[in-house]
């Protein structure tokens, strides 16, 4: 089985999200241990950092949700229409999603620019530059835009009703547990 051309990109996203989650968990663990066992060394900015890490993780993983059909879509409607109509409803959904992602990019960038202009930092002793935190919004919008653009192209120009119909699991998404006999 040959890996999908975007497999490396997928691995980077999933690895980055995993690292952000791991880092958030470590910061939380250090905070809890410090609070209960070493109160004089407890870190006071842990909750703030955890929120930043989780928000960035959520915005990055949103791209993976688009890739695996885990994002907002008219699933109930799609289940009752024929494959040829599913194709065009999915393409329309991609256009609507691209408009939404464009708004995330535009307004997210406006927020980042305003934060930079005001030299905004968090109100805690950490004084974290807020533009870094706010940058998660346009980054997530960009990553989702890439995925929705790929989906749109596939539905309009490369539609195959046997592999792109609702409920079909692409071969690169199958794990040995989902394949009859457990082998590829």
Could you tell me the pTM of the whole model? 0.78
Each residue's pLDDT tens digit, 2-59: 445 567 888 899 999 999 999 999 999 999 999 889 888 778 889 999 999 999 999 9
pLDDT in tens, 106-122: 999 999 999 999 999 99
Phi, psi of 148 (to 5 degrees): -65, -35
CA gap 136, 60 in Å, rounded: 8
pLDDT digits (tens, 9 = 90+) for 113-157: 999 999 999 988 889 999 999 999 999 999 999 999 998 998 888
Per-residue pLDDT of 72-103, as tens digits, reads 666 777 777 887 888 888 899 999 999 999 99
Which residues lie closer than 8 Å to 127 by C-beta, 6 or more apart? 121
pLDDT higher than threshold 50 for residue 1: no
């Amino acid at each position: 089985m040959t890996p999908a051309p975007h497999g490396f990109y997928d691995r980077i996203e999933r690895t980055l999200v995993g690292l952000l989650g791991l880092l958030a968990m470590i910061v939380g663990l250090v905070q809890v241990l410090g609070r209960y066992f070493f109160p004089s060394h407890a870190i006071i900015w842990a909750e703030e950092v955890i929120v930043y890490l989780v928000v960035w993780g959520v915005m990055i993983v949103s791209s993976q949700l688009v890739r695996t059909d885990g994002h907002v879509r008219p699933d109930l409607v799609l289940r009752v229409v024929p494959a040829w109509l599913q194709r065009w409803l999915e393409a329309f959904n991609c256009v609507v999603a691209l408009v939404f992602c464009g708004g995330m990019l535009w307004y997210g960038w406006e927020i980042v620019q305003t934060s930079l202009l005001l030299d905004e930092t968090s109100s805690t002793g950490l004084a974290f530059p807020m533009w870094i935190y706010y940058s998660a919004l346009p980054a997530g919008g960009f990553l989702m835009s890439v995925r929705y653009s790929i989906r749109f192209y596939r539905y309009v120009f490369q539609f195959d009703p046997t592999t792109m119909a609702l409920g079909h699991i692409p071969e690169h998404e199958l794990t040995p547990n989902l394949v009859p006999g457990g082998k590829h």
